[in-house]
Amino acid sequence: MGYGRAGSVVVHDVLDYALVVGCPAKIIGWVDKSGYQMTMIRETDKHIIMYSVAEKEEYLITKKVWI
């Protein structure tokens, strides 16, 4: 589940919790389940680990591969 702004043209699946804008849509940030901004803790080959200050919890986001 990603979040897009009005007028964004999404041509691929969007990573969970990604905030996208533009044409074509590009990731500009990350938001938690409540819509608050998250910060990246670290990134690996397969995952992105984000932290939500508002919810005081970590999110493990699995990167998707587009064919």
Average pLDDT score over the chain:
83
pTM: 0.69
Pairing assessment for the beta strands 39-43 and 47-52 based on DSSP bridges: antiparallel
State the CB neighbour count (10 A cutoff) for residue 61.
18
Query: Would you place residue 15 in the very low, low, confident or very high pLDDT band (cuts 50, 70, 90)?
Result: confident
Structure tokens at 64: 């998707």
**Confidence (pLDDT) at 67:** 46
- Under 8 Å CB-to-CB from 27, ≥6 apart: which residues? 14, 15, 18, 19, 20
User: Between 65 and 17, where is the model more confident?
Assistant: 17
